[in-house]
């Protein structure tokens, strides 16, 4: 769902850049206040894992593919503020080093995949009390929410009316999100089982703050 | 830091496994590109400004190897950003 350069109009990319930058400033402070440096090695290794997972496009249907975003997974493991920073680091490296996602579109991509996606995933996960179905739905809806906001940005840039953009965007990401849900459900159980402090100490770090 | 990274070896092993699988990734357009295609918009714009566009390391023969190397570089970069961030914070506090 990485928006390339040349699609968003200046008001759209500038607005999303300002919103994302303002949010990230707050997220960094929040994380420092809550977790200090304890989470840093976990975020680094999980960031590397999600970066690698994002390279693995899986086919869905009709000659279209999708890949894991991992924002919901990170939010379930570390809380939404840490997840935002984790996905932002990945998006910046993808744009600067790998030409995946545009530089001018970086603020929009951060808004969609590093802010909307982890918060959606986190809230649904909490509402459904961390059940297996909750993990699946949370990650699936995180993809749909990101696709919805991406559609709003594309429509705001005058590429097509919102209704015209929404149908294919939500349709494809409905399917891609099922992949996100399956991968996240398996990955969450494996990752938290192999590193038990994630479910005890580290995850408690975010419990107190939000 | 070192101790924790060692404890996270299952995550690192899984990351390595995913990187080795990267050449098998589907090259079909993603959901956004397909949607733009339906609207008659071409998603590729302008020349590649980044050093490793399309997850290929310049000068490495063999597309699969090049993809794995690009992925390895990217994963190490992500890890490095957090490691440096942690060190910077510790120094500022210390």
Whether pTM > 0.90 for this model: the answer is: yes
Q: Which residues in chain A have Cβ-Cβ distances shorter than 8 Å to B8?
A: 41-42, 45, 195
User: What value does the mean pLDDT take over residues A94-116?
Assistant: 96
Half-sphere exposure of A1 (CA within 13 A, CB side): 35
pLDDT of residue A80: 94
**Helices (runs of H) and strands (runs of E) counted in chain A:** 9, 2
pLDDT of residue A192: 83
A5 belongs to a structural domain: no
Domain assignment of residue A144, given as a range? 10-207
Q: Which residues in chain A have Cβ-Cβ distances shorter than 8 Å to B45?
A: 4-7, 102
A197 belongs to a structural domain: yes
What CATH number does the domain containing A127 carry?
1.10.1760.20
A183 belongs to a structural domain: yes
CB A195 within 8 A of CB A46: no
Among residues A117, A55, A51, which one has the least CA distance to residue A89?
Answer: A51
Instruction: State how far the Cα of A124 lies from the Cα of A130, in Å rounded to an integer.
Output: 9
Which ipTM value was assigned to this complex? 0.92
User: What value does the mean pLDDT take over residues A51-58?
Assistant: 97
User: What value does the mean pLDDT take over residues A10-15?
Assistant: 97
Judge whether residue B2 has pLDDT over 70. no
Residues 14-73 of B with CB under 8 A from A: 14-15, 18-19, 21-22, 24-36, 38-39, 41, 43-46, 48-55, 67, 70-71, 73
Lowest mean pLDDT among A64-68, A161-165, A204-208, B40-44: A204-208
Asked if A6's CB is within 8 angstroms of B35's CB, the reply is no
pLDDT of residue A99: 92
Range A153-168 burial, b when 16+ CB lie within 10 A, else e: bbbbbebbeeebbbeb
Among residues A86, A25, A82, A24, which one has the least CA distance to residue A53?
Answer: A86
pLDDT of residue A209: 45
Among residues A73, A44, A127, which one has the least CA distance to residue B86?
Answer: A44
DSSP labels, B19-53: HHHGGGS--S-BHHHHHHHHTT-----S---STTG
Judge whether residue A114 has pLDDT over 90. yes
Q: Which helix (H) or strand (E) holds A184?
A: helix A162-194
The total of structural domains in chain A comes to: 1
């Amino acid at each position: 769902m990485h928006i390339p350069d040349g699609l968003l109009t200046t008001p759209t990319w500038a607005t999303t850049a300002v919103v994302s930058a303002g949010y990230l400033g707050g997220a960094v402070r929040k994380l420092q206040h809550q977790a200090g440096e304890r989470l840093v090695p976990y975020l680094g290794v999980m960031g590397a894992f999600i970066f690698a997972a994002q390279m693995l496009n899986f086919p869905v249907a009709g000659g279209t593919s999708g890949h894991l975003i991992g924002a919901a997974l990170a939010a379930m493991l570390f809380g939404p503020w840490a997840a935002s920073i984790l996905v932002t680091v990945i998006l910046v490296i993808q744009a600067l080093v790998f030409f995946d996602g545009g530089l001018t579109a970086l603020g929009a991509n951060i808004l969609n995949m590093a802010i909307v996606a982890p918060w959606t995933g986190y809230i649904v996960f909490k509402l459904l009390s961390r059940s297996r179905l909750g993990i699946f739905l949370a990650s699936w809806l995180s993809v749909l929410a990101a696709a919805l906001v991406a559609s709003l940005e594309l429509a705001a840039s005058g590429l097509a009316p919102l209704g015209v953009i929404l149908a294919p965007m939500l349709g494809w990401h409905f399917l891609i999100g099922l992949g996100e849900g399956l991968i996240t459900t398996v990955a969450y159980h494996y990752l938290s089982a192999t590193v038990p402090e994630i479910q005890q100490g580290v995850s408690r770090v975010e419990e107190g703050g939000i | 830091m070192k101790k924790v990274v060692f404890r996270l070896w299952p995550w690192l092993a899984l990351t390595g496994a995913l990187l080795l699988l990267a050449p098998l990734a589907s090259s079909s357009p993603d959901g956004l590109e397909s949607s733009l295609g339906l609207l008659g918009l071409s998603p590729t714009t302008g020349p590649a400004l980044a050093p490793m566009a399309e997850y290929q390391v310049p000068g490495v023969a063999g597309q699969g190897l090049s993809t794995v190397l690009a992925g390895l570089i990217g994963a190490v970069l992500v890890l490095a950003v957090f490691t440096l961030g942690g060190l910077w914070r510790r120094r500022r506090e210390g």
